[in-house]
Structure 1
Amino acid sequence: MKVILIDDESLALDFLEFQINKIENADVIGKYNYFDAEKHTDLLAEVDVIFLDIEMPEINGLELAEKLLEINANISIVFVTAFNHYAVQAFELNALDYVLKPVQFERLKKTLERVERKVNNQKHPSFVKDDVLRINVSRELTFELNGGTTEFISWRTAKSQELFLYLLHHENKTVRKSEIVELIWTEFGPEKAYSQLYTAIYHIRKTLKKFNDHFIIKNVGEGYNLSTQKVSIDLAEWEHKMKTAPKITTETIDYFEKNMKLYKGGYLQEYHYLWAEAECYRLEQVWLKIAFRLASYYVKQKDVEKAETWYKKICLLRPEDEDAHFSLMKLYDSSGMAFLVDRQYHELEEALKAFDLQISTNVKTWFTQWKENKKSIR
């Protein structure tokens, strides 16, 4: 294995190199007091493992680690730290490899053996670059490759997932680090918040490793920029199809029915991210508009069952939507299903009560007149 050592203390570097040289299959190809990742991209392309001091004057070790992984996601990084109970707890909590100064031979040997196994196990086949990765964000996050099995990604922490999704939400735009920590790590002070940010980016790179051909996360000055290639996002694809769709006719109705199934729920609705609410609402309005159009089409075609289905879908998504409930009442009335008219009115009444709202005068008047007409017929 090819090894690089980075530590601002020369004596620590020399001692670590001395210990590593005792181990077979470990070759130190460089040691640095200061390491500029951008100037050593060729070297980083061939290295297997980097021993990195966590506390250096020029740059935080965690921040440097995620820059190194930006260049080569296959590198194994082992952090080196002076003994500190809280630092060790943090490393173990975040599942980071570490060794303590002064580096003990047996611990070092076990660490390198573990890294070597990891390197050897990285033989899982990479996805072919021509494959398209489908990212599903309707309801919750899943990945799918070329129509294959849906894969739920196992994130180290919920905040790592949120950070990835926030960067994806701002795809191809640089998001300032200060904005991210204020949004996601509000409970921490600046120093700890930034440390958490660097650790999360580190884990995101590791988590997305097998999808390397599809994601590029760049550390750009004071922010991060995520770009994608050969990626399709389900709701973006669905919205494009709906916006470019022709009018609803007997020839195109199947197209609408098929593609409306792509919308399986609100944008990331399972996670309740405040920053996603505006986009969730916007896409929901697109769905509602088309759902009403489909229901109206079926009413005109006198297809009561399918019209009812779409109005009920709207009521399920938006229980407080009076127009959908009212349309169902009129549909049931025209179809001679009086008991359903009465039931739908009371469903609307209960739904609005949950939102501290009342039925509009227009609907109340219609329902009152409908009941009087039914009484006069009797």
Structure 2
Amino acid sequence: MRVVCIDDEQLALSFLERQLAKIAEVEVIGSFINPLEGKKFILREEPDVIFLDIDMTPLNGMEIAERVLEKLPDVILVFVTAYEAYAVNAFELNATDYIVKPLKFARLELTVNRIKKQLQPRQKKPISRSQSLRIRTTPSLAFETEPDVFKPLPWRTAKTQELFIFLLQNHDVVIEKSAIIELLWEDYELEKAHSLLYTTIYNIRKQLSPYQEHIDLRNHSYGYLLELNRVEIDFVEWLKAVKALPKLTTDTVADYERVMERYAGTYLANYDYTWLEAERYRYERLWLHTSNNIATFYYNQGKVNEAIRWYHYMIEHDPTIEKAHFELMKLYGKKGDFAAMMQQYTTLHKVWRTHFDAKPSDHIIAWYVDMMK
């Protein structure tokens, strides 16, 4: 077991080294009072275990751990602290253990024995995927675990899940730490918020470790960058397909329908994050706009039944689309199906009363009154 110790108090550091030397199979390969030098050594030598004091300058233990774990996600952390309050953060960071000063040999030996057991079966190799990793975003976030089988990841905390979804939505863009803190922990003191951020980033990296061939979360300047490699996200792929569609003609309308069938419903429907709304709205408006284009195309081609089918699709997706109700009323009137026209008008009235406590637009009411004369 190759160990590195970091503590900015020389007496505490020397005492920890002496105690570790009494335990079989432990080799202390480096000890540092300067946390920056210790971090560089760790990244170069890749030890099995780091004993790390938390309350240090210029970098505290949480910051060092977060930066080291970005490069060495499998390294084992043991936090050493004089303050019991830090223990909560240590567990949040999913450290193997924490030890409160003054250090006791029996407690240290217990921790080392636990680490030995942890090291024996450890599998360091990531899951190998020769093809793309597929991610589904509706109604919930889920990863493909076997062909056409998608399962959600068991996130450690709700904030871990939310931050990953936020980074995934903004992949290949550097997101500043300050922006993340404002989004998720704006009511916390800055020191506590940074600690929670490091913890959450660590938890994301641990959860994504089987997928590191495809997803890389890196420190970048003053923020984080989530990079994707051979990853297919359902909504992103759908958006690409829509934008690649040629001009709508008799020869291409079937291509439009096939692409639209891939729309699986509301983007990340099972999450109520406020920041999702803009992206959700963008996808929905594109779906509705393209659906309306298809319905209008069929109407202009004299294919009334096909146009009716697409206006019904639009209403099923969003019952408050007044234009779709009105177009259906006109199409039923054109077919001479006045019972269906009246039923659609009644449905529109109910929707408007339920959702807006109002009546439909005056021009629709006037059209309907004129049709019923």
Using the size of structure 1 for normalisation, the TM-score is: 0.87
Shift, 1:26, TM fit: 2.7
Residue 79 of structure 2: SS of its match in structure 1? Answer: strand
- Check whether the contact 1:138–1:265 (CA below 8 A) recurs between aligned residues: yes
Shift, 1:51, TM fit: 1.5
Q: Which one-letter code corresponds to 1:234 in the other structure? A: D
Shift, 1:322, TM fit: 0.7
Shift, 1:10, TM fit: 1.9
Shift, 1:262, TM fit: 2.9
Residue 118 of structure 1: SS of its match in structure 2? Answer: helix
- Check whether the contact 2:94–2:203 (CA below 8 A) recurs between aligned residues: no
* Structure 1: runs of 5+ lacking an equivalent: 373-378
Q: Which one-letter code corresponds to 1:371 in the other structure? A: M
- Check whether the contact 2:49–2:75 (CA below 8 A) recurs between aligned residues: yes
Residue 260 of structure 1: SS of its match in structure 2? Answer: helix
Are 2:104 and 1:73 equivalent residues in the alignment? Answer: no
The match for 2:43 among 29, 41, 50 is 41
Shift, 1:174, TM fit: 2.1
Deviations 1:12-34 (A, max 9, x none): 22222233233333322212112
Residue 20 to residue 321, structure 1, CA distance change in 2 (3 Å): same
Residue 370 to residue 57, structure 1, CA distance change in 2 (3 Å): same
Residue 367 to residue 72, structure 1, CA distance change in 2 (3 Å): same
Most deviating of 110-119 and 159-168:
110-119
Shift, 1:79, TM fit: 1.5
Residue 149 of structure 2: SS of its match in structure 1? Answer: coil
Are 2:51 and 1:27 equivalent residues in the alignment? Answer: no
Q: Which one-letter code corresponds to 1:88 in the other structure? A: A
Give the aligned partner of residue 88 of structure 1. Answer: 87
* Structure 2: runs of 5+ lacking an equivalent: none
The 2-side partners of 1:174 and 1:265 are apart by: 29
Correspondences of 1:300-339 after superposition (within 5 Å): 300=301, 302=303, 304=305, 306-339=306-339
Q: Which one-letter code corresponds to 1:216 in the other structure? A: D
Shift, 1:116, TM fit: 3.5
Deviations 1:4-60 (A, max 9, x none): 11111222222222332333333222121123335653212xx22212111112112
Residue 134 of structure 1: SS of its match in structure 2? Answer: strand
Give the aligned partner of residue 365 of structure 1. Answer: 366
The 1-side partners of 2:265 and 2:118 are apart by: 38
Give the aligned partner of residue 177 of structure 2. Answer: 177
The 2-side partners of 1:206 and 1:147 are apart by: 24
Give the aligned partner of residue 105 of structure 2. Answer: 105
Give the aligned partner of residue 207 of structure 2. Answer: 207
The 2-side partners of 1:115 and 1:188 are apart by: 33
Give the aligned partner of residue 192 of structure 2. Answer: 192
Shift, 1:73, TM fit: 1.2
- Check whether the contact 1:131–1:145 (CA below 8 A) recurs between aligned residues: no
The 2-side partners of 1:25 and 1:39 are apart by: 21
Shift, 1:328, TM fit: 2.0
Deviations 1:64-87 (A, max 9, x none): 111001111111212112242x33
Residue 26 to residue 251, structure 1, CA distance change in 2 (3 Å): farther
The 1-side partners of 2:124 and 2:17 are apart by: 31
Correspondences of 1:175-324 after superposition (within 5 Å): 175-249=175-249, 251-299=251-299, 300=301, 302=303, 304=305, 306-324=306-324
The 2-side partners of 1:333 and 1:118 are apart by: 74
Shift, 1:129, TM fit: 5.2
CA RMSD, 1 decimal? 2.5
Shift, 1:90, TM fit: 4.1
Residue 208 of structure 1: SS of its match in structure 2? Answer: helix
Residue 316 of structure 2: SS of its match in structure 1? Answer: helix
Give the aligned partner of residue 376 of structure 1. Answer: none
Q: Which one-letter code corresponds to 2:369 in the other structure? A: T
Give the aligned partner of residue 375 of structure 1. Answer: none
Correspondences of 1:331-350 after superposition (within 5 Å): 331-350=331-350
Residue 124 to residue 195, structure 1, CA distance change in 2 (3 Å): closer
Give the aligned partner of residue 11 of structure 2. Answer: 11
Residue 120 to residue 309, structure 1, CA distance change in 2 (3 Å): farther
Paired residues, number: 368
The 2-side partners of 1:126 and 1:95 are apart by: 19
Residue 370 to residue 143, structure 1, CA distance change in 2 (3 Å): same
Percent identical across equivalent pairs? 38
- Check whether the contact 1:138–1:263 (CA below 8 A) recurs between aligned residues: no
Shift, 1:152, TM fit: 0.4
Residue 314 to residue 114, structure 1, CA distance change in 2 (3 Å): farther
Residue 131 of structure 2: SS of its match in structure 1? Answer: coil
- Check whether the contact 1:266–1:284 (CA below 8 A) recurs between aligned residues: yes
The 2-side partners of 1:10 and 1:258 are apart by: 68
The 2-side partners of 1:94 and 1:2 are apart by: 21
The 1-side partners of 2:92 and 2:128 are apart by: 34
